[in-house]
Structure 1
Amino acid sequence: MRYPHAGGSASAYASLARELAPGFEVVAVQYPGRQDRHREQLVDDVGILARAVVGALEPVLHRPIALFGHSTGALLLFETALILGAERQESRRSSVYLAEPRQSRNRRVSTP
């Protein structure tokens, strides 16, 4: 599961998906308001986005997954991992996230 930066989109990981195939299935989060979801209203609450991601992951939670987030995507990954750990008690996953420590304390994402 890949989480792009705030202004990014899922297509940013298309080449990575091709490089890792067939050994890995790369799935990227497409944020509301981006690319094929451009008509949807932007969401400025990371908790809401994280719960939506957890809901979308439901069909694959029986398999091991790895989560990667870049910049603001790392904040969303962190919130998703908190939900998975606390509410679902999922233990079969690896998390890699990149962000400034300050970002992980901020639970809201500013949108322009």
Structure 2
Amino acid sequence: MLIIAVFGVRAVGTLVGGASWTAPGTGWRSVWQLVMVAFAVGGLVFPARRTLCVAAIGAVYAAATLLELAVDGDRLIGLIPVDMRDRVIHPLVAALAVASVVAVLGRLRPVRSR
């Protein structure tokens, strides 16, 4: 949740500060971050869907990581600027999401009685 809070603060600060809407532009990055914040808030508001929301966030950031590596390292889908910080944060968020989902699914396994 700390990562999502940072994304939200950064996105709102960028938009208030006069984000660029050219391609690539910081406005597009802010929209992306706010969508991820919305998924996270959805997971908090609807606990039954929390794992799904975390998995969706992880999938988006995993896809971003792969696209940055395979397609264009400077712009994500031609709209969102990518810098060195993103090259660290995107795979980190994806890995944290996967670890969270695995931990939750591990707790859901039925316990066998002897």
| Pairwise same-fold verdict (TM > 0.5) | no
TM-score by length of structure 2 reads 0.40
Is the strand fraction higher in 1 or 2?
1
TM-score by length of structure 1 reads 0.40
Is the helix fraction higher in 1 or 2?
2
Larger Rg: 2
